[in-house]
Amino acid sequence: MGMYIVWCAAMYLLGASKSLAGRWNSHPRHTAYLRCEQAYGHYSMFWYRQDPGQGLQLLFYFYYKEEREKGTNSSHFQADQPRDDVFRLNISSVQPEHSAVYFCASSSDTALQSHLLPLQKPRLFLVSLQPQHRKWQSGCHHMDSDQANSL
């Protein structure tokens, strides 16, 4: 089997989330868990996915811990917001086609007000899933934006 690569990122857009941690189970077709936290007191939180060579695709938009919009029809993707500052994305039965860059964002304003806020560079986290003796290992490595640009 080939190597699966899953990318995740914390996007600093509209005062977006400040950290992201991803955890993958040890076998393919299990569930991948992405957890995003923000410390800004924002009530709007978003999960996006970006496939290679494509634009951002909204997966979920939550407002005050309630789902307001779901941008995917896939039953593999679920999201929940157990606290104001935590937003989770679960990808069940992980498949190679789920390899993508996943972005988390938070916002305290509407799109009409967003031009007033600065855009900051995202912090990237690389997660790779690769076979080793019929078991899968995972790891998450922090990369600065400059390092990511050199890939």
Q: Can you give the residue ranges of every domain in the chain?
A: 4-149
In angstroms, the CA 151 to CA 147 distance is 7
Query: Which residue has tokens 């997966």?
Result: 59
| End-to-end CA gap in the chain | 24
> pTM score, two decimals?
0.62
Quick: pLDDT tens for 99-135. Answer: 888 899 988 865 544 444 444 444 343 444 433 333 3
C-alpha distances out from residue 46 to 69, 78, 84, 86, 98, Å: 9, 12, 13, 11, 18
Quick: pLDDT tens for 33-68. Answer: 889 998 888 989 999 998 889 999 999 999 999 999
CATH 2.60.40.10 fits 4-149, yes or no: yes
Which amino acid is it at 107?
Answer: S
